[in-house]
Amino acid sequence: MTDVLLIGFAGLAILVALIAIRMPIAYAMILVGGIGISLLNGPAIFLNQLKTLGYGQFSIYDLSVVPMFVLMGALAARAGLSQALFRAANAWLGWLRGGTAMAAIGACAAFGSVCGSSLATALTMGKVALPELKRYRYNGALATGTLAAGGVLGILIPPSVVLVIYAVLVEANIVTMFAAALIPGLLAVLFFLLTIAAYVAIRPEAGPKGDPVDRREFLEATLGLVPVLLIFLMVIGGIYAGLYNPTPAAAIGVFLVWVYGLVRGRLDLQAQVQALLETARTTGMIYLILLGAELLKIFMSRAGVPQALAEALATSGLPPMTIMILLLLALIVLGCLMDSLSMILLVIPFFWPVLVEVNGGLYQMADGSGFGMSTEDLKVWFGIIALIVVELGLITPPVGMNVFVISALDPETPMRETFKGVMPFFFAELIRVALLLAFPAMTLWLPRVLGG
Protein backbone atom coordinates (compact mmCIF):
# COMPACT_ATOMS: atom_id res chain seq x y z
CA MET A 1 0.00 0.00 0.00
CA THR A 2 1.46 3.36 -1.04
CA ASP A 3 1.95 6.31 1.30
CA VAL A 4 -0.65 8.30 -0.64
CA LEU A 5 -3.23 5.56 -0.19
CA LEU A 6 -2.39 5.34 3.53
CA ILE A 7 -3.08 9.07 3.85
CA GLY A 8 -6.45 8.53 2.19
CA PHE A 9 -7.47 5.71 4.54
CA ALA A 10 -6.20 7.70 7.53
CA GLY A 11 -8.38 10.60 6.43
CA LEU A 12 -11.36 8.30 6.19
CA ALA A 13 -10.74 6.98 9.71
CA ILE A 14 -10.44 10.53 11.05
CA LEU A 15 -13.70 11.48 9.31
CA VAL A 16 -15.55 8.59 10.98
CA ALA A 17 -14.07 9.59 14.35
CA LEU A 18 -15.18 13.21 13.92
CA ILE A 19 -18.71 12.11 13.02
CA ALA A 20 -18.73 9.78 16.05
CA ILE A 21 -17.97 12.68 18.40
CA ARG A 22 -20.93 14.57 16.87
CA MET A 23 -19.08 17.12 14.75
CA PRO A 24 -21.48 18.33 12.03
CA ILE A 25 -20.75 16.24 8.97
CA ALA A 26 -20.33 19.25 6.67
CA TYR A 27 -17.53 20.64 8.84
CA ALA A 28 -15.97 17.20 9.23
CA MET A 29 -15.84 16.67 5.46
CA ILE A 30 -14.51 20.17 4.78
CA LEU A 31 -11.82 19.72 7.46
CA VAL A 32 -10.67 16.27 6.32
CA GLY A 33 -10.93 17.13 2.62
CA GLY A 34 -9.08 20.42 3.01
CA ILE A 35 -6.24 19.00 5.10
CA GLY A 36 -6.00 15.95 2.84
CA ILE A 37 -5.71 17.98 -0.37
CA SER A 38 -3.13 20.23 1.32
CA LEU A 39 -1.03 17.21 2.38
CA LEU A 40 -1.14 15.62 -1.07
CA ASN A 41 -0.85 18.69 -3.31
CA GLY A 42 0.00 21.63 -1.07
CA PRO A 43 -2.07 24.37 0.59
CA ALA A 44 -1.98 26.53 -2.54
CA ILE A 45 -3.85 23.89 -4.52
CA PHE A 46 -6.48 23.62 -1.78
CA LEU A 47 -7.01 27.40 -1.69
CA ASN A 48 -7.23 27.45 -5.46
CA GLN A 49 -9.90 24.75 -5.27
CA LEU A 50 -11.90 26.84 -2.80
CA LYS A 51 -11.73 29.83 -5.15
CA THR A 52 -13.88 28.15 -7.80
CA LEU A 53 -15.37 25.05 -6.19
CA GLY A 54 -18.27 26.73 -4.42
CA TYR A 55 -19.52 28.49 -7.53
CA GLY A 56 -18.95 25.40 -9.65
CA GLN A 57 -21.02 23.29 -7.28
CA PHE A 58 -23.88 25.63 -6.48
CA SER A 59 -24.41 27.01 -9.98
CA ILE A 60 -25.51 23.59 -11.28
CA TYR A 61 -29.00 24.19 -12.68
CA ASP A 62 -30.36 20.86 -11.38
CA LEU A 63 -29.62 21.94 -7.80
CA SER A 64 -31.93 24.94 -8.12
CA VAL A 65 -34.80 22.51 -7.56
CA VAL A 66 -33.63 21.83 -3.98
CA PRO A 67 -34.70 25.12 -2.31
CA MET A 68 -37.96 25.02 -4.26
CA PHE A 69 -38.93 21.57 -3.03
CA VAL A 70 -37.79 22.47 0.50
CA LEU A 71 -39.97 25.60 0.41
CA MET A 72 -42.93 23.60 -0.92
CA GLY A 73 -42.61 21.22 2.01
CA ALA A 74 -42.24 24.05 4.53
CA LEU A 75 -45.36 25.78 3.21
CA ALA A 76 -47.33 22.52 3.05
CA ALA A 77 -46.55 21.80 6.71
CA ARG A 78 -48.10 25.15 7.66
CA ALA A 79 -50.97 25.26 5.14
CA GLY A 80 -53.16 22.56 6.71
CA LEU A 81 -52.54 19.94 4.01
CA SER A 82 -51.68 17.29 6.58
CA GLN A 83 -55.02 17.64 8.39
CA ALA A 84 -56.99 17.41 5.13
CA LEU A 85 -55.06 14.33 4.03
CA PHE A 86 -55.49 12.49 7.30
CA ARG A 87 -59.18 13.35 7.52
CA ALA A 88 -59.79 11.95 4.03
CA ALA A 89 -57.71 8.83 4.61
CA ASN A 90 -59.46 8.20 7.93
CA ALA A 91 -62.88 8.59 6.31
CA TRP A 92 -61.95 5.85 3.84
CA LEU A 93 -60.10 3.47 6.16
CA GLY A 94 -60.86 4.39 9.76
CA TRP A 95 -63.79 1.98 10.14
CA LEU A 96 -61.47 -1.02 9.66
CA ARG A 97 -59.60 -2.70 12.50
CA GLY A 98 -56.29 -0.86 12.47
CA GLY A 99 -57.86 1.55 9.98
CA THR A 100 -56.73 4.76 11.69
CA ALA A 101 -53.13 3.54 11.54
CA MET A 102 -53.65 2.65 7.86
CA ALA A 103 -55.05 6.14 7.33
CA ALA A 104 -51.89 7.58 8.87
CA ILE A 105 -49.77 5.61 6.37
CA GLY A 106 -51.89 6.81 3.45
CA ALA A 107 -51.70 10.40 4.67
CA CYS A 108 -47.91 10.13 5.15
CA ALA A 109 -47.55 8.89 1.56
CA ALA A 110 -49.71 11.71 0.19
CA PHE A 111 -47.98 14.35 2.29
CA GLY A 112 -44.58 12.96 1.24
CA SER A 113 -45.59 13.56 -2.39
CA VAL A 114 -45.76 17.26 -1.58
CA CYS A 115 -43.13 17.55 1.14
CA GLY A 116 -40.23 15.31 0.06
CA SER A 117 -38.64 15.09 3.52
CA SER A 118 -38.86 12.07 5.83
CA LEU A 119 -38.33 13.93 9.09
CA ALA A 120 -40.80 16.67 8.14
CA THR A 121 -43.37 14.04 7.12
CA ALA A 122 -42.95 12.16 10.39
CA LEU A 123 -43.15 15.33 12.50
CA THR A 124 -46.09 16.91 10.68
CA MET A 125 -48.21 13.77 10.38
CA GLY A 126 -47.29 12.74 13.93
CA LYS A 127 -48.84 15.94 15.27
CA VAL A 128 -52.03 15.30 13.30
CA ALA A 129 -52.48 11.53 13.59
CA LEU A 130 -51.12 10.73 17.04
CA PRO A 131 -54.01 12.34 18.98
CA GLU A 132 -56.52 10.33 16.90
CA LEU A 133 -54.62 7.09 17.45
CA LYS A 134 -54.60 7.82 21.18
CA ARG A 135 -58.31 8.68 21.16
CA TYR A 136 -59.13 5.24 19.76
CA ARG A 137 -56.83 3.63 22.36
CA TYR A 138 -54.29 2.23 19.93
CA ASN A 139 -51.39 0.30 21.40
CA GLY A 140 -48.50 2.74 21.97
CA ALA A 141 -46.05 0.58 20.01
CA LEU A 142 -48.33 0.33 16.97
CA ALA A 143 -49.28 4.02 17.03
CA THR A 144 -45.76 5.43 17.29
CA GLY A 145 -44.20 2.69 15.15
CA THR A 146 -46.67 3.39 12.34
CA LEU A 147 -45.91 7.09 12.32
CA ALA A 148 -42.14 6.60 12.50
CA ALA A 149 -42.30 4.14 9.59
CA GLY A 150 -44.76 6.29 7.64
CA GLY A 151 -42.30 9.16 7.75
CA VAL A 152 -39.77 7.25 5.65
CA LEU A 153 -42.17 7.39 2.70
CA GLY A 154 -41.20 11.04 2.24
CA ILE A 155 -37.68 10.20 1.10
CA LEU A 156 -38.66 8.09 -1.92
CA ILE A 157 -42.09 9.18 -3.16
CA PRO A 158 -41.43 12.03 -5.63
CA PRO A 159 -40.50 14.77 -5.19
CA SER A 160 -37.53 13.86 -2.99
CA VAL A 161 -34.63 16.16 -2.20
CA VAL A 162 -32.32 13.22 -1.47
CA LEU A 163 -33.24 11.67 -4.82
CA VAL A 164 -32.28 14.92 -6.55
CA ILE A 165 -28.92 14.98 -4.76
CA TYR A 166 -28.23 11.36 -5.74
CA ALA A 167 -29.06 12.14 -9.38
CA VAL A 168 -26.62 15.06 -9.35
CA LEU A 169 -23.87 12.93 -7.77
CA VAL A 170 -24.02 10.13 -10.37
CA GLU A 171 -25.09 12.41 -13.26
CA ALA A 172 -28.45 10.69 -13.66
CA ASN A 173 -31.58 12.28 -15.11
CA ILE A 174 -33.79 13.63 -12.31
CA VAL A 175 -37.01 12.95 -14.22
CA THR A 176 -35.90 9.33 -14.78
CA MET A 177 -35.16 8.93 -11.07
CA PHE A 178 -38.58 10.35 -10.14
CA ALA A 179 -40.27 7.91 -12.52
CA ALA A 180 -38.26 4.98 -11.16
CA ALA A 181 -39.23 5.86 -7.58
CA LEU A 182 -42.99 5.79 -8.13
CA ILE A 183 -43.67 2.03 -8.24
CA PRO A 184 -41.28 1.16 -5.35
CA GLY A 185 -42.88 4.00 -3.36
CA LEU A 186 -46.39 2.70 -3.93
CA LEU A 187 -45.14 -0.80 -3.09
CA ALA A 188 -43.96 0.53 0.28
CA VAL A 189 -47.43 1.92 1.00
CA LEU A 190 -49.01 -1.44 0.13
CA PHE A 191 -46.56 -3.39 2.31
CA PHE A 192 -47.07 -1.02 5.25
CA LEU A 193 -50.86 -1.40 5.01
CA LEU A 194 -50.50 -5.19 4.90
CA THR A 195 -48.15 -5.02 7.89
CA ILE A 196 -50.75 -3.16 9.94
CA ALA A 197 -53.45 -5.63 8.85
CA ALA A 198 -51.27 -8.55 9.95
CA TYR A 199 -50.39 -6.81 13.24
CA VAL A 200 -54.01 -6.25 14.26
CA ALA A 201 -55.00 -9.73 13.05
CA ILE A 202 -52.51 -11.16 15.57
CA ARG A 203 -53.27 -8.58 18.28
CA PRO A 204 -56.81 -7.26 17.71
CA GLU A 205 -56.73 -5.10 20.83
CA ALA A 206 -53.75 -3.12 19.47
CA GLY A 207 -55.78 -1.40 16.72
CA PRO A 208 -59.49 -1.00 17.47
CA LYS A 209 -61.96 -0.03 14.78
CA GLY A 210 -62.79 3.64 14.42
CA ASP A 211 -66.20 5.24 14.12
CA PRO A 212 -67.75 5.09 10.63
CA VAL A 213 -68.52 8.52 9.19
CA ASP A 214 -71.82 9.57 7.64
CA ARG A 215 -72.13 10.23 3.90
CA ARG A 216 -71.88 14.00 4.20
CA GLU A 217 -68.68 13.91 6.23
CA PHE A 218 -67.26 11.26 3.90
CA LEU A 219 -67.88 13.45 0.85
CA GLU A 220 -66.47 16.56 2.54
CA ALA A 221 -63.34 14.70 3.60
CA THR A 222 -62.88 13.18 0.14
CA LEU A 223 -63.26 16.57 -1.53
CA GLY A 224 -60.45 17.77 0.72
CA LEU A 225 -58.13 15.55 -1.33
CA VAL A 226 -58.79 17.49 -4.53
CA PRO A 227 -56.23 20.27 -3.87
CA VAL A 228 -53.55 17.70 -3.02
CA LEU A 229 -54.28 15.67 -6.15
CA LEU A 230 -54.19 18.85 -8.22
CA ILE A 231 -50.81 19.83 -6.78
CA PHE A 232 -49.41 16.32 -7.35
CA LEU A 233 -50.70 16.19 -10.94
CA MET A 234 -49.39 19.65 -11.76
CA VAL A 235 -45.96 18.96 -10.27
CA ILE A 236 -45.17 15.27 -10.78
CA GLY A 237 -47.67 14.69 -13.60
CA GLY A 238 -46.27 17.64 -15.50
CA ILE A 239 -42.74 16.29 -15.10
CA TYR A 240 -43.72 12.79 -16.24
CA ALA A 241 -45.63 14.20 -19.21
CA GLY A 242 -42.59 16.20 -20.31
CA LEU A 243 -44.35 19.56 -19.99
CA TYR A 244 -41.52 21.04 -17.93
CA ASN A 245 -38.44 19.98 -16.03
CA PRO A 246 -38.27 19.65 -12.21
CA THR A 247 -37.26 23.24 -11.40
CA PRO A 248 -40.29 25.03 -12.93
CA ALA A 249 -42.44 22.14 -11.67
CA ALA A 250 -41.24 22.85 -8.14
CA ALA A 251 -41.95 26.56 -8.61
CA ILE A 252 -45.51 25.71 -9.71
CA GLY A 253 -45.83 23.47 -6.64
CA VAL A 254 -44.70 26.27 -4.32
CA PHE A 255 -47.24 28.65 -5.88
CA LEU A 256 -50.12 26.17 -5.62
CA VAL A 257 -49.36 25.28 -1.98
CA TRP A 258 -49.04 29.00 -1.17
CA VAL A 259 -52.43 29.73 -2.76
CA TYR A 260 -53.97 26.76 -0.92
CA GLY A 261 -52.63 28.05 2.39
CA LEU A 262 -53.93 31.56 1.73
CA VAL A 263 -57.39 30.28 0.79
CA ARG A 264 -57.49 28.12 3.94
CA GLY A 265 -56.39 31.11 6.00
CA ARG A 266 -53.42 29.17 7.39
CA LEU A 267 -50.55 31.11 5.82
CA ASP A 268 -50.37 34.51 7.47
CA LEU A 269 -47.29 36.69 7.13
CA GLN A 270 -45.59 35.12 10.14
CA ALA A 271 -46.08 31.57 8.78
CA GLN A 272 -44.69 32.59 5.39
CA VAL A 273 -41.63 34.18 6.98
CA GLN A 274 -41.07 31.05 9.08
CA ALA A 275 -41.29 28.88 5.95
CA LEU A 276 -38.77 31.07 4.14
CA LEU A 277 -36.36 31.03 7.08
CA GLU A 278 -36.68 27.24 7.40
CA THR A 279 -35.98 26.92 3.67
CA ALA A 280 -32.90 29.14 3.94
CA ARG A 281 -31.53 27.16 6.89
CA THR A 282 -32.20 23.76 5.30
CA THR A 283 -30.86 24.76 1.88
CA GLY A 284 -27.76 26.32 3.42
CA MET A 285 -27.13 23.11 5.36
CA ILE A 286 -27.57 20.99 2.22
CA TYR A 287 -25.25 23.17 0.14
CA LEU A 288 -22.59 23.23 2.84
CA ILE A 289 -22.67 19.42 3.00
CA LEU A 290 -22.39 19.36 -0.81
CA LEU A 291 -19.28 21.54 -0.65
CA GLY A 292 -17.73 19.32 2.01
CA ALA A 293 -18.59 16.19 0.02
CA GLU A 294 -16.93 17.58 -3.09
CA LEU A 295 -13.73 18.46 -1.19
CA LEU A 296 -13.70 15.00 0.37
CA LYS A 297 -14.28 13.39 -3.04
CA ILE A 298 -11.33 15.29 -4.53
CA PHE A 299 -9.07 14.24 -1.66
CA MET A 300 -10.14 10.59 -1.75
CA SER A 301 -9.88 10.42 -5.53
CA ARG A 302 -6.34 11.81 -5.50
CA ALA A 303 -5.41 9.40 -2.71
CA GLY A 304 -6.84 6.52 -4.75
CA VAL A 305 -9.25 5.23 -2.09
CA PRO A 306 -12.33 4.69 -4.32
CA GLN A 307 -10.17 3.06 -6.98
CA ALA A 308 -8.54 0.75 -4.43
CA LEU A 309 -11.92 -0.20 -2.99
CA ALA A 310 -13.31 -0.89 -6.46
CA GLU A 311 -10.32 -3.04 -7.37
CA ALA A 312 -10.40 -4.98 -4.09
CA LEU A 313 -14.09 -5.85 -4.32
CA ALA A 314 -14.25 -6.37 -8.06
CA THR A 315 -11.26 -8.74 -8.04
CA SER A 316 -12.43 -10.56 -4.90
CA GLY A 317 -14.21 -13.21 -6.93
CA LEU A 318 -17.50 -12.48 -5.18
CA PRO A 319 -20.62 -12.54 -7.37
CA PRO A 320 -21.89 -9.07 -8.36
CA MET A 321 -25.10 -9.50 -6.36
CA THR A 322 -23.12 -10.42 -3.24
CA ILE A 323 -21.09 -7.23 -3.63
CA MET A 324 -24.30 -5.24 -4.02
CA ILE A 325 -25.74 -6.78 -0.84
CA LEU A 326 -22.52 -6.04 1.10
CA LEU A 327 -22.72 -2.39 0.05
CA LEU A 328 -26.37 -2.21 1.08
CA LEU A 329 -25.60 -3.74 4.48
CA ALA A 330 -22.94 -1.06 4.96
CA LEU A 331 -25.58 1.57 4.21
CA ILE A 332 -27.88 0.12 6.88
CA VAL A 333 -25.07 0.30 9.46
CA LEU A 334 -24.16 3.87 8.48
CA GLY A 335 -27.83 4.82 8.60
CA CYS A 336 -27.76 4.20 12.34
CA LEU A 337 -25.13 6.93 12.70
CA MET A 338 -26.08 9.81 10.39
CA ASP A 339 -28.93 11.39 8.46
CA SER A 340 -29.90 10.20 4.99
CA LEU A 341 -28.58 13.15 2.99
CA SER A 342 -25.18 13.06 4.68
CA MET A 343 -24.94 9.32 4.13
CA ILE A 344 -25.72 9.56 0.41
CA LEU A 345 -23.17 12.32 -0.07
CA LEU A 346 -20.52 10.44 1.91
CA VAL A 347 -20.80 6.92 0.51
CA ILE A 348 -21.94 7.25 -3.11
CA PRO A 349 -18.51 8.52 -4.31
CA PHE A 350 -17.05 5.27 -2.86
CA PHE A 351 -19.78 2.79 -3.76
CA TRP A 352 -20.66 3.92 -7.26
CA PRO A 353 -17.20 3.25 -8.81
CA VAL A 354 -17.29 -0.26 -7.34
CA LEU A 355 -20.59 -1.06 -9.05
CA VAL A 356 -19.43 0.41 -12.35
CA GLU A 357 -16.33 -1.79 -12.34
CA VAL A 358 -18.26 -4.91 -11.35
CA ASN A 359 -20.86 -4.23 -14.04
CA GLY A 360 -18.38 -4.06 -16.88
CA GLY A 361 -15.35 -1.93 -16.10
CA LEU A 362 -11.65 -2.75 -16.00
CA TYR A 363 -12.09 -5.25 -13.15
CA GLN A 364 -15.18 -7.02 -14.46
CA MET A 365 -15.75 -10.52 -13.07
CA ALA A 366 -13.60 -13.23 -14.64
CA ASP A 367 -16.62 -14.97 -16.17
CA GLY A 368 -17.69 -11.71 -17.83
CA SER A 369 -20.76 -11.35 -15.65
CA GLY A 370 -22.08 -8.11 -14.32
CA PHE A 371 -25.57 -6.98 -13.43
CA GLY A 372 -26.78 -7.55 -16.97
CA MET A 373 -27.71 -3.93 -17.58
CA SER A 374 -26.27 -0.69 -18.92
CA THR A 375 -24.53 1.82 -16.68
CA GLU A 376 -27.50 4.19 -17.03
CA ASP A 377 -29.93 1.51 -15.87
CA LEU A 378 -27.57 0.61 -13.03
CA LYS A 379 -27.62 4.23 -11.84
CA VAL A 380 -31.39 4.13 -11.57
CA TRP A 381 -31.72 0.65 -10.08
CA PHE A 382 -29.00 1.12 -7.46
CA GLY A 383 -30.17 4.63 -6.60
CA ILE A 384 -33.71 3.54 -5.74
CA ILE A 385 -32.55 0.53 -3.72
CA ALA A 386 -29.92 2.63 -1.93
CA LEU A 387 -32.52 5.22 -0.93
CA ILE A 388 -34.81 2.51 0.43
CA VAL A 389 -31.93 1.17 2.52
CA VAL A 390 -31.17 4.72 3.67
CA GLU A 391 -34.82 4.87 4.78
CA LEU A 392 -34.15 1.89 7.03
CA GLY A 393 -31.53 3.90 8.89
CA LEU A 394 -34.25 6.33 9.94
CA ILE A 395 -36.05 3.60 11.90
CA THR A 396 -33.12 1.36 12.90
CA PRO A 397 -31.82 1.35 16.49
CA PRO A 398 -29.96 2.81 18.21
CA VAL A 399 -30.24 6.11 16.32
CA GLY A 400 -33.41 5.96 14.23
CA MET A 401 -34.07 9.65 13.73
CA ASN A 402 -37.77 9.20 12.93
CA VAL A 403 -38.19 7.22 16.15
CA PHE A 404 -36.69 10.09 18.15
CA VAL A 405 -39.02 12.58 16.43
CA ILE A 406 -42.16 10.55 17.20
CA SER A 407 -40.99 9.73 20.75
CA ALA A 408 -40.66 13.46 21.42
CA LEU A 409 -44.33 13.85 20.43
CA ASP A 410 -45.44 10.98 22.70
CA PRO A 411 -43.41 10.96 25.94
CA GLU A 412 -45.90 8.48 27.48
CA THR A 413 -44.73 5.68 25.18
CA PRO A 414 -41.19 4.44 26.03
CA MET A 415 -38.78 4.60 23.11
CA ARG A 416 -38.18 0.86 23.30
CA GLU A 417 -41.90 0.35 22.59
CA THR A 418 -41.62 2.56 19.52
CA PHE A 419 -38.66 0.52 18.27
CA LYS A 420 -40.72 -2.64 18.87
CA GLY A 421 -43.59 -1.16 16.92
CA VAL A 422 -41.38 -0.19 14.01
CA MET A 423 -39.74 -3.60 13.59
CA PRO A 424 -42.59 -5.18 11.55
CA PHE A 425 -42.26 -2.29 9.09
CA PHE A 426 -38.49 -2.81 9.04
CA PHE A 427 -38.95 -6.41 7.94
CA ALA A 428 -41.53 -5.33 5.36
CA GLU A 429 -38.89 -2.98 3.93
CA LEU A 430 -36.38 -5.83 3.75
CA ILE A 431 -38.90 -7.82 1.68
CA ARG A 432 -39.31 -4.82 -0.64
CA VAL A 433 -35.55 -4.54 -1.09
CA ALA A 434 -35.32 -8.26 -1.87
CA LEU A 435 -38.04 -7.95 -4.51
CA LEU A 436 -36.37 -4.98 -6.18
CA LEU A 437 -33.03 -6.79 -6.18
CA ALA A 438 -34.60 -9.90 -7.71
CA PHE A 439 -36.73 -8.02 -10.24
CA PRO A 440 -34.99 -4.85 -11.53
CA ALA A 441 -37.88 -4.31 -13.97
CA MET A 442 -40.01 -3.12 -11.04
CA THR A 443 -37.74 -0.07 -10.93
CA LEU A 444 -36.80 0.27 -14.61
CA TRP A 445 -40.14 -0.38 -16.33
CA LEU A 446 -41.82 3.01 -15.81
CA PRO A 447 -38.78 5.12 -16.85
CA ARG A 448 -38.54 3.07 -20.06
CA VAL A 449 -42.25 3.51 -20.80
CA LEU A 450 -42.16 7.26 -20.19
CA GLY A 451 -38.92 7.56 -22.13
CA GLY A 452 -40.56 5.99 -25.14
Are 268 and 127 part of one and the same domain? yes
Are 31 and 135 part of one and the same domain? no
Averaged pLDDT for residues 94-103: 88
Lowest mean pLDDT across 211-220, 247-256, 337-346, 372-381? 337-346
Establish how many alpha carbons lie within 13 A of residue 172's alpha carbon, considering only the half-sphere containing its beta carbon. Answer: 28
Check whether 361 has a pLDDT greater than 60: no
Per-residue pLDDT, 362: 45
Question: Is pLDDT larger for residue 327 or for residue 337?
Answer: 327
Cα dihedral across residues 99, 105, 110, 114: positive or negative: positive
Are 10 and 133 part of one and the same domain? no
How many Å apart are CA 433 and CA 134, to the nearest integer? 32
Check whether 365 has a pLDDT greater than 50: no
Query: 23 φ, ψ to 5°?
Result: -70, 135
Per-residue pLDDT, 151: 86
Q: Which range is most confident: 118-122, 143-147, 207-211, 224-228?
A: 143-147
Residue 190 lies in a domain: yes
The residues with which 330 forms a beta bridge, in sequence order, are none
Are 188 and 94 part of one and the same domain? yes
The residues with which 209 forms a beta bridge, in sequence order, are 97
pLDDT digit string, tens, across residues 29-69: 899 999 999 999 888 888 887 878 878 777 777 788 888 88
How many Å apart are CA 142 and CA 126, to the nearest integer? 13
Residue 94 lies in a domain: yes
Residue 316 lies in a domain: no
Residue 429 lies in a domain: no
Are 154 and 250 part of one and the same domain? yes
For residue 339, give every residue at least 6 positions away whose Cβ sits within 8 Å of its Cβ, in sequence order, or none: 119, 401
Residue 435 lies in a domain: no
Q: Decide which of 282, 315, 349 is a domain's last residue.
A: 282
* Residue 347: strand, helix, or coil: helix
Are 16 and 85 part of one and the same domain? no
Task: Sort 208 into a burial class: Cβ within 10 Å, 0-12 / 13-18 / 19+.
Answer: middle
**pLDDT > 90 in the chain, percent:** 25
pLDDT digit string, tens, across residues 187-207: 999 999 999 999 999 998 888
Mean pLDDT of the chain: 86
Sequence-distant contacts of 430-434: CB under 8 A, at least 24 apart: 430/392, 431/191, 432/184, 432/187, 432/188, 432/191, 432/388, 433/328, 433/385, 433/388, 433/389
Domain span including residue 240: 62-282
Are 148 and 260 part of one and the same domain? yes
Per-residue pLDDT, 366: 46
Lowest mean pLDDT across 30-39, 259-268, 395-404? 395-404
Are 87 and 5 part of one and the same domain? no
Are 131 and 257 part of one and the same domain? yes
How many Å apart are CA 69 and CA 79, to the nearest integer? 15
Residue 450 lies in a domain: no
Residue 381 lies in a domain: no
Are 159 and 119 part of one and the same domain? yes
Q: Decide which of 229, 252, 282 is a domain's last residue.
A: 282
Question: Using an 8 Å Cβ cutoff, are 153 and 193 in contact?
Answer: no
Query: 225 pLDDT band (50/70/90 cuts)?
Result: confident
Please count the other Cβ atoms lying within 10 Å of the Cβ belonging to residue 276. Answer: 14
Per-residue pLDDT, 363: 44
Per-residue pLDDT, 161: 83
Are 207 and 296 part of one and the same domain? no
Are 92 and 42 part of one and the same domain? no
Residue 263 lies in a domain: yes
Domain count, the chain: 2
How many Å apart are CA 266 and CA 257, to the nearest integer? 11
